[in-house]
Chain A
Amino acid sequence: MPLEIPDINWSLLMPQLVIVSTLLIVLVFDMFDAISKKTLGWMTIVGAGIALWSSIDLLQAGTDQTQFNEMFRIDSYSLFFNIIFLVSTILVALVSISYLGSGDKKQGPYYLLILLATLGMMLMAAGNELIIVFLGLELMSLSLYVLASYFRESPASSEAGMKYLLLGAFASAFFLYGIALVYGAAGTTNIPEIISKLSVGDQLSLLSESPLFLAGIFLLIVGFGFKVAIVPFHQWAPDVYEGAPTTIAAFISAGPKAAGFAAFLTIFVDALPKLPTQATGVIVLLAMLTMTVGNVIAIAQTNIKRMLAYSSIAHAGYVMIGLAAANPDGKSSAMLYLFIYCVMNIGAFGVVIMARTADGENLMISDYAGLGFRKPLLAMFMTLMLLSLAGFPPTAGFVGKLYVFKSAVEARHYWLVIFGAINTAISAFYYLRVVVTMYMREPEEELEFKPYPPTLVIGLVLAAIGILLIGILPSLLLDQAQSAVQSALL
Chain B
Amino acid sequence: MSPNLILVLLISPLVGFLINGLFGKWLKGNEKLSGGIGALAVLVSLICSISAFISVKNGNPLEGDAGHLYSWIVSGAFIAGGPFEVNIGFHVDALTTVMLLVITGVGFLIHVYSIGYMHGDEGYTRYFAYLNLFVFAMLILVLGNNYLMMFVGWEGVGLCSYLLIGFWYEKQSATDAGKKAFIVNRIGDFGFLLGMFTLFAAFGSLDFVSIFDKAEAGTIEIVFGETTKATLMVATLLLFVGAIGKSAQLPLYVWLPDAMEGPTPVSALIHAATMVTAGVYMIARSAILYNLAETGAVVAWIGVLTALFAAIIALKQNDIKRILAYSTVSQLGYMFVGVGVGAYASGIFHLVTHAFFKGLMFLTAGSVMHAMANELDIRKMGGLRNKLPITHATFLVGALAIAGAPFLSGFWSKDEILHSAWDSFPFIYIIGLVTAFLTAFYMFRLIFVTFYGESRVEPEVASHLHESPAVMWLPLAILAVPSALIGLLLGVGGHNSWFHHFTEDVFPKAHEASGSVLLFMAISSVVGIAGIAYAWKRYKDRAPSAEPTNTLQKVVANKFYVDEVYNTFIVQPIKGASHFLLWKLFDSGIIDGIVNGVAALIRVIGGMLRRLQTGIVQAYIVSMVIGIVLFLAYYLFFT
State whether the Cβ of A114 lies closer than 8 Å to any Cβ in chain B. no
Complex contact B606–A475 (CB within 8 A): no
Nearest-neighbour CB distance to chain A for B622, whole angstroms, equals 10
State whether the Cβ of A46 lies closer than 8 Å to any Cβ in chain B. no
Nearest-neighbour CB distance to chain A for B251, whole angstroms, equals 32
Given A233-B627, A300-B606: A218 touches B76 (CB 8 Å cut-off): no
Residue of B nearest to A277 (CB): B639
Annotate A147-177 by CB proximity to B: 1 below 8 A, 0 otherwise: 0000000000001001100110011001000
State whether the Cβ of A474 lies closer than 8 Å to any Cβ in chain B. yes
Residue of B nearest to A407 (CB): B76
Complex contact B73–A282 (CB within 8 A): no
Annotate B322-349 by CB proximity to A: 1 below 8 A, 0 otherwise: 0000000000000000000000000000
State whether the Cβ of B609 lies closer than 8 Å to any Cβ in chain A. yes
State whether the Cβ of B636 lies closer than 8 Å to any Cβ in chain A. yes
State whether the Cβ of A235 lies closer than 8 Å to any Cβ in chain B. yes
Tell me the complex Cα distance, A472–B631, Å. 40
State whether the Cβ of A344 lies closer than 8 Å to any Cβ in chain B. no
State whether the Cβ of B617 lies closer than 8 Å to any Cβ in chain A. yes
State whether the Cβ of A402 lies closer than 8 Å to any Cβ in chain B. yes
Annotate A274-310 by CB proximity to B: 1 below 8 A, 0 otherwise: 0010110110011000000000110110000000000
State whether the Cβ of B373 lies closer than 8 Å to any Cβ in chain A. no
B75, B613, B636: the one within 8 Å of A214 (CB): B636
Question: How many of chain A's residues have a CB under 8 angstroms from any CB in B?
Answer: 42
A159, A218, A239, A474: the one within 8 Å of B635 (CB): A218
Nearest-neighbour CB distance to chain B for A228, whole angstroms, equals 14
State whether the Cβ of B569 lies closer than 8 Å to any Cβ in chain A. no
State whether the Cβ of B628 lies closer than 8 Å to any Cβ in chain A. yes
Complex contact B609–A236 (CB within 8 A): no
State whether the Cβ of B369 lies closer than 8 Å to any Cβ in chain A. no
Q: Which residues of B contact A297 (CB under 8 A)?
A: 602, 606, 609
Tell me the complex Cα distance, A163–B634, Å. 29
Complex contact B627–A282 (CB within 8 A): no
Complex contact A215–B76 (CB within 8 A): no
A163, A214, A402: the one within 8 Å of B617 (CB): A163
Tell me the complex Cα distance, A167–B628, Å. 14
Tell me the complex Cα distance, A235–B623, Å. 9
Given A232-B623, A235-B623, A472-B72: A276 touches B639 (CB 8 Å cut-off): yes
Nearest-neighbour CB distance to chain B for A483, whole angstroms, equals 14
B22, B72, B620, B632: the one within 8 Å of A167 (CB): B620
Complex contact B612–A278 (CB within 8 A): no
Tell me the complex Cα distance, A167–B625, Å. 11
Complex contact A163–B620 (CB within 8 A): yes
Instruction: Tell me whether chain B's interface is mostly helix, strand or loop, or mixed.
Output: helix
For chain B, the bracket of interface size reads: 20 to 34
Q: Which residues of A contact B628 (CB under 8 A)?
A: 174, 222
Q: Which residues of A contact B602 (CB under 8 A)?
A: 296-297, 299-300
Most buried by B among A171, A233, A285: A233
State whether the Cβ of A101 lies closer than 8 Å to any Cβ in chain B. no
State whether the Cβ of A238 lies closer than 8 Å to any Cβ in chain B. yes
Complex contact B71–A218 (CB within 8 A): no
Q: Which residues of B contact A299 (CB under 8 A)?
A: 602
Tell me the complex Cα distance, A164–B632, Å. 24
State whether the Cβ of B638 lies closer than 8 Å to any Cβ in chain A. yes
Residue of A nearest to B77 (CB): A410
B71, B76, B615, B621: the one within 8 Å of A475 (CB): B71
Complex contact A474–B73 (CB within 8 A): yes
Tell me the complex Cα distance, A329–B83, Å. 14
State whether the Cβ of A335 lies closer than 8 Å to any Cβ in chain B. no
State whether the Cβ of B470 lies closer than 8 Å to any Cβ in chain A. no
Complex contact B624–A410 (CB within 8 A): no
Complex contact A406–B75 (CB within 8 A): yes
Tell me the complex Cα distance, A159–B620, Å. 14
Complex contact B617–A475 (CB within 8 A): no
Tell me the complex Cα distance, A183–B612, Å. 35
State whether the Cβ of B70 lies closer than 8 Å to any Cβ in chain A. yes
Complex contact A278–B624 (CB within 8 A): no
Tell me the complex Cα distance, A329–B75, Å. 11
Given A233-B624, A300-B606: A166 touches B617 (CB 8 Å cut-off): yes
Q: Which residues of A contact B70 (CB under 8 A)?
A: 473, 475
Q: Which residues of B contact A329 (CB under 8 A)?
A: 76
State whether the Cβ of A438 lies closer than 8 Å to any Cβ in chain B. no
Q: Name 8 extra pairs, CB < 8 A, besides A281-B638, A286-B631.
A: A163-B617, A163-B620, A170-B624, A171-B624, A211-B636, A235-B620, A236-B620, A406-B76
Can you give 20 contacting A-B residue pairs, CB < 8 Å? A163-B617, A163-B620, A166-B617, A167-B617, A215-B636, A226-B624, A233-B627, A235-B624, A279-B635, A285-B631, A296-B602, A297-B609, A329-B76, A377-B22, A406-B76, A410-B76, A472-B72, A473-B70, A474-B72, A475-B70
Give 5 nearest A-B pairs by CB, closest first.
Answer: A232-B627, A235-B620, A166-B617, A218-B635, A282-B635
B residues adjacent to A (C-beta < 8 A): 22, 70-73, 75-76, 78, 602, 606, 609, 612-613, 615, 617, 620-621, 623-624, 626-628, 631-632, 634-636, 638-639
